[in-house]
Structure 1
């Protein structure tokens, strides 16, 4: 049997190594600037537990930078902003673009989460809140302390200018993936962020999605693609650990990932 004294040096070495691992701070660098996909349809904003949230589709504009981690904060660049609107039971629309919002990465560079406090709506009474995204809206990561590779003014101008315009043109050409991803986002935003939705909520989200899809002006191929994804996710998540929303998010990100790859390749080709 190995004696304690022979084991001790190894233990001390291991402890020192672990301590070094724990105390060594990783180098921090700003993540990618993101393009928020313009919406053809308004998206529902859901309020729960004092917070109102919506998930928005994004595309990475800077291939050479790292994808954001969940929770990385962003701000809107320039003078464009989201069209945030509340509708009263009587049908009156109230502009809510003045509300302070927090924007964070949700799933890599494929989606962001916009949130604000539900208390901000209290003075208006009951409201159905929705959001629309205008053309060419870009998100820049919030500056971080001790950034080893910060977004410079030149980086921001390039990404939000010519690179953003190139992304807009390319995404507009792929009406199938763009339309399908937006329709899937309609279903995503009708399901709870965390945990599994109840059977009633799942059924309502699917029914609302189907109604929105049938009335939308998207191409037949885009609608068929989105319908197939929603149907498959609905059926495959009746049991198990994967949620309906989680399944939809995975399919959404595959579509957007293909669009993003096409965009990066187009830049390399000089188009």
Structure 2
């Protein structure tokens, strides 16, 4: 019997015990794109809707072993990175991407929260800039991450556009998507794409919900899933943004803080909201 051709994607990221972001969100996103999800866990977090209370890094040898086990046997058509936590892990992942020739890499440069808090140190950021991002098909920084990568202050759409072009040029990356989820006013929810040729502004409906945990992870995972399915990069980004917007419409009002986006909206019989949705 011939094996059925199944698209496979790999997420290299941290575990979120609350299920709202990280590995858990990435695997759900892959599944709802009918893509088989594989994973390499970089760190373990204790977190919920109220925040993170503990983070433990995985040994880099364990991370390398996870990546090799998946790629050398199953193979992957696309991959994404999320929280890589420290310089040693970033360097190890970058080396594996190169050695194993992992293509269609989506780098979500998790280094600053949407609120502006820096999550990794300057040495780790430098390694991310020089070793990993140049290997990416696309990098997806939020506003604050784009500020660090470009060295520019970003307060409006025009500055987002300039930053995207600067990041593309200085980091030698294939394409950049600067996310406006943390922006206010007219810039809220507006993303900027630049691939060295085309500068585009992506706008979708703004969803009024406080439950937005995991949007960045979901977007990058959805881009990777669409790439694994064979879509070109521009199409993958557009489809991913639509997916995130709908998931926000069905975000989950759980816990006492900020709930996650709702990935399983395709399973709802009529996509009607219920008491469990915001």
- Flag the structure with higher helix content: 1
Give your verdict on TM over 0.5: no
Higher relative contact order (CA 8 A, sep 6+): 1
TM-score when normalising by structure 1? 0.29
TM-score when normalising by structure 2? 0.28
